[in-house]
Amino acid sequence: MLRYFILILFLLVKPTLLVGQGYDVFGFGIYDVKFDGSSSKQAADFRYERRFDNVLIDIGPEEDNFFYLKPFAGIELTSDSAFYLLSGIYLEDNLGQLMTGKKNKWVITPSFGLGYYDDGNGKKLGNKIEFRSTFEVSYQLKNLDRIGISIGHISNANIGDKNPGVEIISLSYQKPF
């Protein structure tokens, strides 16, 4: 199963590797954050993503780039030996342009992906196939690097035996390539 997923991930990402630009994202955060104190398996979360700037689908008006769906691929690891290999799509827009029509240094990036999850010694999420949705806000520096904060949710959408889900809060450093 894992071999097939890696093959599919490679075939989806390979064309964008040849002509792509984008960001390498390095994240560090807390895995299984619960604001009500009910967390059972908190761990450190380490994330790497490659966000490609190639538009897969343009679903919006030409003057608004918010509706350009772009691909990403990545891996998340926890201090409990869990890992999550995923691929998906993201949107990106300048927050100032979105709110006031004038660009500023703030960027929002919602994303959605799916992938292969192995719980290691960490929280049991109920399935090997898991979905992740993330919302990120980042600040662009003068050298085009970005510093961001994100909140994400991983769950199996009830396709597994159980679906406890997990939330992750992360800080990230993003480097253009």
Q: 15: which residues sit within 8 A by CB, 6+ positions away?
A: none
Residue 13 in this model has a pLDDT that exceeds 90 = no
Task: Compute, in degrees rounded to 10, the torsion defined by CA atoms 176, 144, 59, 136.
Answer: 90
Is 148 or 40 the better-scoring residue by pLDDT? 148
pLDDT class of 167 with cuts at 50, 70, 90: very high
According to CATH, what is the number of the domain 2-9+22-176? 2.40.160.20
Give this prediction's pTM. Answer: 0.84
* Burial (CB count <10 Å: 0-12, 13-18, 19+), residue 33: middle
Instruction: Please determine, for residue 16, whether its predicted confidence score (pLDDT) is greater than 50.
Output: no
Mean pLDDT, all residues of the chain? 88
Helices (H), the chain: 2-19, 95-100
Reported as a pLDDT band with limits 50, 70 and 90, residue 129 is very high
Q: Return the percentage of the chain with pLDDT > 70, whole number.
A: 84
> Which pair of structure tokens corresponds to residue 105?
């240094």
Half-sphere exposure of 162 (CA within 13 A, CB side): 7
pLDDT at 112 over 90: yes
- Domain residue limits, the chain: 2-9+22-176
Nearest Cα neighbor of 173 from 144, 147, 152 is 147
For residues 81 and 41, the answer to whether their CB atoms sit within 8 Å is no
Say if residues 72 and 96 touch (Cβ distance below 8 Å): no
* pLDDT, average across residues 84-107: 92
Q: Which of 19-28, 61-70, 118-127 is predicted most confidently?
A: 118-127
Alpha carbons within 13 A on the beta-carbon side of 88: 21
Stretch among 3-17, 22-36, 95-109 having the lowest mean pLDDT: 3-17
Reported as a pLDDT band with limits 50, 70 and 90, residue 62 is low
Average pLDDT over residues 136-159: 97
Q: Is residue 139 over pLDDT 50?
A: yes
Residue 38 has pLDDT above 90, yes or no: no
Instruction: Fill in the amino acid letter for 70.
Output: K
Confidence of residue 57 (pLDDT cuts 50, 70, 90): confident
Q: Over 80: is that where the pLDDT of 35 sits?
A: no
